[in-house]
């Protein structure tokens, strides 16, 4: 038996589209910030008495396709460790599930960490990053804290995350705006497939990401929050342009997503530097330097409600222990 705690990460330069659906090899590199406020804690117990894997999330039995995704990752662990026992999985998600807040990143990183430790695999962090990727692409980055790059690679051996700056020594923070925490109607996986297959602009996406990756790493080296935020905002809009230009077109935005974006732009126009980003969901994340936290927070709270806001700082990498 082992337990792992992993935090979500929010991509500043997005991953959107796979080269290999089975191994979850992305079309491009990506770069993210791990957050302290959103995390998953998962315990895995391999038990010869069990007839099948039993998966509990927040006290509820998981079934259907979601449970099968968990079992697929457990099968990889069993294969590598020569275990035959089924597993009891008990997971607690401190982040809304499938709402564009990277719940799958923390969930599958924690599952990979707990399962591999319980099975006696003793993986290093690169091996753990590769294993987590098999459950959810963005989980490969949640193995590390702070600012993290997922190197796309070409196969299972070469696709993994590496830390850029685990101990973030400058003032970057995010406010997550919880616009709608219900499960989204269009999954990230389906949205990516649709965009890759049908958007006429997708062929330009790898060029956009390659440019943004160089630029954002320079901005990180310079500790330039404004430049990081500007790159992240533009990259997010271009990712969402792929969903709008798919056939049929679709969007993860709702009216309050657009309202939040407008508030951020208005703050900037008034000299308070902040920037927005969105993943596959309506919830907006606002990037700013901590010296501007009070001004950004109060404006968002006045117009959207303080109960919808969560202030998040750079978070830690995965922690694993035996029970």
pLDDT digit string, tens, across residues 23-44: 999 999 999 999 999 999 999 9
Statement: residue 323 has pLDDT above 90: no
Query: Which residues, 6 or more positions from 257, have their beta carbon under 8 angstroms from its beta carbon?
Result: 179, 278, 282, 283, 284
Domain ranges of the chain: 2-168, 172-312
Q: pLDDT tens digits for 198-213?
A: 999 999 999 999 999 9
* CA atoms of 108 and 143, how far apart (whole Å): 10
43 three-class SS: strand
CB 139 within 8 A of CB 112: yes
What's the whole-model pTM score?
0.95
In this prediction, residue 97 has a pLDDT band, given cuts at 50, 70 and 90, of low
Nearest to 231 by CA among 30, 35, 9, 7: 30
Chain-wide mean pLDDT for the chain?
95
Q: Would you state the pLDDT for residue 86?
A: 98
> Is domain 172-312 classified as CATH 2.30.30.240?
no
Mean pLDDT within 58-84? 95
Statement: residue 100 has pLDDT above 60: no
CB 149 within 8 A of CB 31: yes
> Is domain 2-168 classified as CATH 3.30.230.10?
yes
In this prediction, residue 216 has a pLDDT band, given cuts at 50, 70 and 90, of very high
Joined together, the tokens standing for residue 148 give 């993290």
Mean pLDDT within 78-83? 96
């Amino acid at each position: 038996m082992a337990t792992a705690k992993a935090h979500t990460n929010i991509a500043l330069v997005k991953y959107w589209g796979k080269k290999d659906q089975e191994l979850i090899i992305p079309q491009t590199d990506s770069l993210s910030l791990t957050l302290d406020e959103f995390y998953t804690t998962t315990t895995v117990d391999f038990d010869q008495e069990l007839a099948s894997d039993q998966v509990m999330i927040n006290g509820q039995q998981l079934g259907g396709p979601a449970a099968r995704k968990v079992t697929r990752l457990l099968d990889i662990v069993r294969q590598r460790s020569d275990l035959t026992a089924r597993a009891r999985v008990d997971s607690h998600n401190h982040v809304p599930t499938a709402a564009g807040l990277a719940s799958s990143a923390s969930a599958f990183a924690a599952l990979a960490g707990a399962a591999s430790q319980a099975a006696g695999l003793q993986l290093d962090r690169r091996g753990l990053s590769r294993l987590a990727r098999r459950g959810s692409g963005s989980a490969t980055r949640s193995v590390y804290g702070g600012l993290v790059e997922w190197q796309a690679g070409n196969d299972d051996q070469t696709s993994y995350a590496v830390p850029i700056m685990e101990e973030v020594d400058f003032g970057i923070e995010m406010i997550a705006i919880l616009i709608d925490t219900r499960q989204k109607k269009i999954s990230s996986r389906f949205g990516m497939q649709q965009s890759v297959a049908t958007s006429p602009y997708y062929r330009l996406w790898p060029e956009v990401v390659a440019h943004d990756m160089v630029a954002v790493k320079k901005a990180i080296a310079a500790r330039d929050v404004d430049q990081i935020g500007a790159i992240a905002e533009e990259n997010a809009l271009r990712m969402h342009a792929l969903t709008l230009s798919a056939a049929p077109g679709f969007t993860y935005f709702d009216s309050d997503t657009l309202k939040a974006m407008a508030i951020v732009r208005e703050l900037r126009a008034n000299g308070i530097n902040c920037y927005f980003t969105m993943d596959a969901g309506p919830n907006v994340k606002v990037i700013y330097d901590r010296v501007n936290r009070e001004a950004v927070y109060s404006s968002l709270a006045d117009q959207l409600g303080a109960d919808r806001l969560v202030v998040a700082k750079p978070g830690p990498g995965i922690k694993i222990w035996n029970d």
